[in-house]
Structure 1
Amino acid sequence: MEEKIKNQPLLILFSSGGDRRVLADYLRKEEFLVKAPPPSEIDQKILSTLSKWSLILLDETMAQKIGDKILDAKQKQEIFLPVIVFTSQATRVNYWFEAGYDNVLLLPVRQKTFLAFLQHLIIIRAQSQKLYQQAQELAESEARYRQFVESPLVGFWLADEKAKFVFINQRLAEMSGYQVDEVVGKMTMLDPIAPESRDWLQQRLAQRRKGAITPDVVEVEMVRKDGSRFWALAAPAGIYDSRGKFKGYLGAMIDISERKKLEQLLIESNQELEAYARTVSHDLRAPLRAVQGYINILREDCGQKLDDQARHYLERIDRAAQNMDNLIIDLLNYSRLSHEEFLEANVSGEEVLEEVINYLDNEIKKKKAQVNIIKPLPAVKGNRNFLFQIFLNLIDNALKFVVPGQTPEVKIWAERRGKMVRFWFEDKGLGIEPRYHRRIFELFERLHGIESYPGTGVGLALVKKVVKKMKGEVGLESQLGRGSRFWIELPAANPGGQKERD
């Protein structure tokens, strides 16, 4: 016997105990797994577990008694299970076929023929089960596909190699205002696109036919049937056969008109807010300059006539006016970043740092600060003025936030991290509690009184905004009383890229 039919479970339901035992013993010798219960032990449990058997063998008496129940159970359980009726009467063969049995065995039969017959049925059953399972999986896949392509949110399409639509789902029809049959086979992918974008799409279609562009996501303006327009986020791709030959296009899109409206409102709102901030800041500085002018006049014309208390008040007014002026300048710089554009170029970290150190030379000498720069400092991709602002703010803070009487110590170095460069600024200053590590990068956040440590609370917020604009990250490592290590991470310079000029 072939390996494939060994150990197959068979159920023998014969009314004659002698015939049942003879057949069961024979099939066990042929390495089948046989169950042959007497009629009194045949119950509902056997009928409810038919799928566990490879074949069921019935004599005519048992076929008359429970054959219909077995056939009904097979149908309800949706299983392919060969049931064989044994008969010794040739005239009864057609009867059993007409009764619904697919397999009738006329006795007597040779052992070899009988075993070949069983093997044949077992192979057919295995193949049928596999086909049934594949059909079920195909039906489930088809159902999932239908659910997917009939999404109430996403529009789907297929087009042939000439970009003519061969399928669109209902959602895409709703988005465009057309009926499905008005599009499929009649319109191309160029037709619903805004006229000013068709040349662009024509070029992309040609590139996709050549495989020159990979699947991507683009924003595109579409025209509905009634002439109105809407914005869509589309994800087109090419279809290729197993040999790489181009066969057509497929894609998905969603309507983003509401998002585009909100984006435009946000842009306009930001522009208005920035214009307002610049105007207010400019108007605020005018009276401040007047106040500072009168302070200078009082010092020059009345300085000798003022007592110590009056001079003290005058100094406080001057400092307050200067602090307000610094705050307004910082706010102007901060708001300017939102609309200031720049071209990316390679910027030397060493050159910019040298400029910052020269700029702070008087402050460094005044505080007798120790500034240790570990070279080399790699070049980065970004903007020279922005990098100057970042370095200036971080080093100025390192010089400022120290215990009174302490000599500031600053250590600066850099390291490559894949495609990025991380600059470190380490100090021996006051340190910052971990709970404030995120807050200090927000606008107007201060951890110390302005009398002790002058500032506007804008510096680190400015650093964060500039770094983000240059596609980088910023952070710190610090413990209270143990100093701080601020870091910024920026894209490394492109080899052979254009160097930014002053």
Structure 2
Amino acid sequence: MSAAPEQHPIELNTALPLIQGLTRLHDWVALLEPDGRVVWLSDALASTCGGGRSFKGSHWLQTVVRADDPDELMSGLENEGRISNQPVRLREKSGEEFPVGVSAARIAPGCGAVVAIFRHLDEPRPALESTLRYLAAVLDSSPDGVIVIDRSRFITYANPAMQEITGWAIEDLIDRPLAVFLRAQDDLEQIVGALADAPKVRDVELAVRRRDGGPLEVSVSVSRLALEDGTQVGAVAYVQDITERRRFECDLARKNDELEHYVHTVSHDLRSPLVSILGFSRLLREDFAPALGDKGEHFVRRIEEAGRTMESLIHDLLELSRMGTQQVLPERVDPRDVLVQLQAELKPRLDEQRVSLQLPEDPPMIGCERTRLYQVFSNLIGNALTHMGDVANPIVDVQVEERDGRTHIAVMDNGSGIDPKDHDRIFEIFRSVGGPSRNQAGSSGVGLAIVKKIAELRGGRAWVESALGQGATFHVELPTI
């Protein structure tokens, strides 16, 4: 790419990165002063016109192209701010001239700099136009926007839906460079990749210029367009307006952030009075037991139990609210070390419920922070114990294996099971579903929501397979690192 000149107005210096990005879409690009003097030419244009010859400071209608009526061309630029596919003749370094079309426009309303894009006119126009007539019969009625661009990246067809989406009349879209409708250089890069790297590209999201200047987010799928003999003549782009969807997603994300902040604040504020309740109830039981009597001591124990349950709930709520704000830095963790630690901590409860906890002997390493992996196993095993029900030989079996490049965790029990209609609801916060055995005390109602969020924040997922009376298998899938 040609080097930028060292000195020219600051607005042109600011514009050069975007203009240079255009050369990835269009071969022949020029940056001009408002009066038509050349500031910069793309390598392809400079090579075509004069090899190593410098064009800086010369008037583009004298050294780069020749127009039948140069005054009319410049007048269109000055009065309208743009010209579209005007016929001119490009001057070759040999002195020969050949016809091209030029579209030019000011870079921005407050910027006098002009970008000009030249279009080859040696393309297979009759065959392309015949193809377009055939396509138009089908695409004119499409509810989604459709445009066809030629090999020079100029728009040669737009359907009525494209007019409705962008606000641009069809005649204002035809024969104009695709680049003038994009908002940012990043969007140029995405389109270039879509057109150059593969015959088909789906769902590239980018910003487009509406006629009224309003925001427009679109999803674009691109397919190359070829004639019957295989000649590549351009591409077809299918355009969907996703502005409302993106706005809804942004609003939802903002509301989720506000809700997480609210939950974090409320949970934190509840801790102080809870500490006092637990502290004074312990003092009552330890220092005033004779005065309380058996009945009073029983009531104090009930207060302590309820306080500890609330303490567990507050802890889980705080953990859930923190997860979306903390950076995920996965590490390789041996799951057996975590499971052996949990087995030791849960031994009194396992013995009391006569549950056999079966652990994998040599599981693969898991890509997850140790603290979060502990939470996954603790909540899944704790959930199985809480909702085991009345079973003759209760078993909780933990398995870890690699499948298709991902780590798969399964925690199986032979307890009361879950109705299939409740499989999605059970991962929602404060949801308790099923029969009496699935509504026992000891569960905060947040554990499975934590498991699901841990998995999803790491690019994985969590789900359950179960039926009433047939136990349950909770699955967690995580990317392998």
The yes-or-no answer on 1:233 pairing with 2:222 is: no
Conserved? CA contact 1:411–1:427, under 8 Å: yes
Counterpart residue identity of residue 282, structure 2: N
Q: Is the 8 A contact 2:416 2:437 kept in 1?
A: no
**Alignment gaps of 5+ in structure 1:** 1-138, 498-502
| Aligned: 1:172 with 2:162 | yes
Cα 1:211–1:479 change in 2 (3 A) is closer
Whichever residue aligns with residue 159 of structure 2, its letter is N
More strand by share: 2
> Hey, what does 2:311 align to over in structure 1?
325
State whether structure 2 residue 148 is matched by structure 1 residue 158: yes
Task: Find the aligned partners of 1:492 and 1:256 in 2 and give their Cα distance.
Answer: 29
Counterpart in the other structure of 1:149: 140
Call closer, same or farther: CA 1:425–1:268 in 2, change over 3 Å: closer
CA distance in 2 between partners of 1:242 and 1:491 (Å): 46
| Residue 392 of structure 1: aligned partner | 378
Q: Secondary structure at the match of 1:307?
A: helix
Task: State whether residues 465 and 473 of structure 2, in contact with CA within 8 Å, keep that contact through their aligned partners in structure 1.
Answer: yes
Mapped to 2, the partners of 1:461 and 1:413 lie a distance apart of: 21
Q: Secondary structure at the match of 1:328?
A: helix
- For 2:477, the equivalent position in structure 1 comes to 490
Alpha-carbon distance change, 184 to 491 in structure 1, aligned in 2, over 3 angstroms: same
SS at match of 2:288: helix
CA distance in 1, matches of 2:146, 2:244: 20
Matches within 5 A, 1:351-390: 351-360=337-346, 363-364=349-350, 369-381=355-367, 384-390=370-376
Alignment of 1:282-321 (within 5 A): 282-321=268-307
Cα deviations across residues 384-411 of structure 1 (Å, max 9, x unaligned)? 4433222111222334445689775332
Counterpart residue identity of residue 459, structure 1: G
8 Å Cα contact 1:472/1:490 also seen in 2: yes
Give 1:490 deviation, angstroms. 1.0
Deviation at 1:285, TM superposition (A): 2.0
CA gap of 1:380–1:245, structure 2 versus 1, over 3 A, is: farther
Alignment match, 2:81: none
1:213, CA displacement in angstroms? Answer: 7.1
Deviation at 1:488, TM superposition (A): 0.7
3-state SS, counterpart of residue 429 of structure 2 = coil
Contact 1:193 1:221 in 2 (8 A): yes
Change (3 A) 1:439 1:257: closer
1:388–1:241 Cα change, 3 Å: farther
| Residue number in structure 1 paired with 2:177 | 188
Task: Pick closer, same or farther for the CA change 1:294–1:404 going to 2, 3 Å.
Answer: farther
Give the letter for the 1:157 counterpart: I
| Cα distance change on mapping 1:424 and 1:211 into 2, 3 Å | closer
Shift of 1:180: 2.3
Q: Deviations over 1:308-350 (max 9, x none)?
A: 1111111111111221221222222233345555256655444
Instruction: State the 1:475 CA deviation.
Output: 0.9
Shift of 1:439: 4.7
8 Å contact kept, 1:375–1:413: no
User: How high is the sequence identity, in percent, across the aligned residues?
Assistant: 26
**In 2, Cα distance between equivalents of 1:162 and 1:433:** 59
Matched-pair contact (CA < 8 Å) for 1:350–1:378: no
After TM superposition, give the deviation of residue 257 of structure 1 in Å: 1.8
SS at match of 2:178: coil
**Deviation for aligned residue 1:191:** 0.6
Q: Return 336-345 or 270-279, whichever deviates more.
A: 336-345
- 1:203 is matched with 189
Change (3 A) 1:216 1:367: same
**Alignment pair present for 1:423 and 2:400:** no
* Aligned with 1:269 (options 230, 255, 271): 255
Whether the 8 Å contact between 1:441 and 1:460 is mirrored in structure 2 is yes
Q: Could you give the per-residue CA deviations for residues 52-75 of structure 1, whole angstroms, max 9, x where no partner exists?
A: xxxxxxxxxxxxxxxxxxxxxxxx
TM-score, structure 2 normalization: 0.62
Question: Which segment drifts farther, 402-411 or 166-175?
Answer: 402-411
Alpha-carbon distance change, 243 to 361 in structure 1, aligned in 2, over 3 angstroms: farther
Once the two structures are overlaid, the 10-residue window that deviates more, 453-462 or 341-350, is 341-350
Call closer, same or farther: CA 1:374–1:240 in 2, change over 3 Å. same
Structure 2 gap ranges (5+): 1-129
Q: Using the alignment, how far apart are the partners of 1:346 and 1:146 within structure 2?
A: 57
* Residues 330 and 368 in structure 2, CA contact (< 8 A), matched pair in contact too: yes
Structure 1: distance between partners of 2:418 and 2:365: 30
Structure 1 residues 386 and 280: CA distance shift in structure 2, 3 A: same
Mapped to 1, the partners of 2:372 and 2:227 lie a distance apart of 50
Bigger mean CA offset, 395-404 vs 322-331: 395-404
1:460-484 deviation line (CA, Å, top 9, x unaligned): 333334344442232133543x6x2
Contact preservation (8 Å) 1:424, 1:485: no
* Greater percentage in helix: 1
Distance change (3 Å), C-alpha of 1:463 and 1:448: farther
The answer as to whether partners of 1:347 and 1:380 remain within 8 angstroms in 2 is yes
Structure 2: distance between partners of 1:232 and 1:217: 9
8 Å contact 1:238–1:250 — kept in the other structure?
yes
Q: Cα–Cα, structure 1 residues 241 and 428, in superposed 2: closer, same or farther, change >3 Å? A: same
The SS at the match of 2:445 is coil
Max radius of gyration: which structure? 1
Residues 1:476 and 2:462 aligned together = no
Q: Number of residue pairs matched?
A: 348
Amino acid at match of 2:182: I
Query: What CA distance in whole angstroms lies between the structure 1 residues aligned with 2:224 and 2:465?
Result: 46
- 1:237-280 per-residue CA deviation (whole Å, 9 max, x = no partner) reads 33356787643232021222222222222122111111111111
